[in-house]
A = this chain, B = another copy of it.
């Protein structure tokens, strides 16, 4: 049990949830679940994400120690991202949410969505 509580507006748990409970963070962390990825490969893999949004999402995750960035000594120079151990701990919940979306997409698409 944690002393933190997502139901409390000013609790660090709420701030932490805010940080990861958005589509791009979920998709990026899920996408790094298989191992390190180059920026360009991530961008190819994640349909519909702009360079700006991918960069912002990676920076946010990096700043919060969920992802680490490594410059590659390649020509041309490349950059690789991987999950930290904290990021790995988030992979389970995030994968469960992404898989739920994949498994139930059909049921939700049948509804009249506004």
- Give the B-binding residues of A (Cβ under 8 A): 2, 4-23, 25-27, 30-31, 45-48, 63-65, 86, 89-90, 92-94, 96-109, 111-114
Of all chain B residues, which has the CB nearest A108? Answer: B16
B6 touches A27 (CB 8 A): yes
B105 touches A13 (CB 8 A): yes
Supply 5 further A-B pairs (C-beta < 8 A) apart from A6-B30, A19-B108, A86-B108. Answer: A4-B101, A14-B101, A22-B22, A86-B107, A93-B99
A-B contact pairs, 18 of them (CB 8 A): A6-B26, A7-B46, A7-B47, A12-B109, A13-B98, A13-B105, A14-B23, A14-B48, A16-B108, A17-B23, A19-B108, A21-B25, A64-B108, A64-B111, A64-B113, A65-B108, A89-B100, A92-B100
B107 touches A65 (CB 8 A): yes
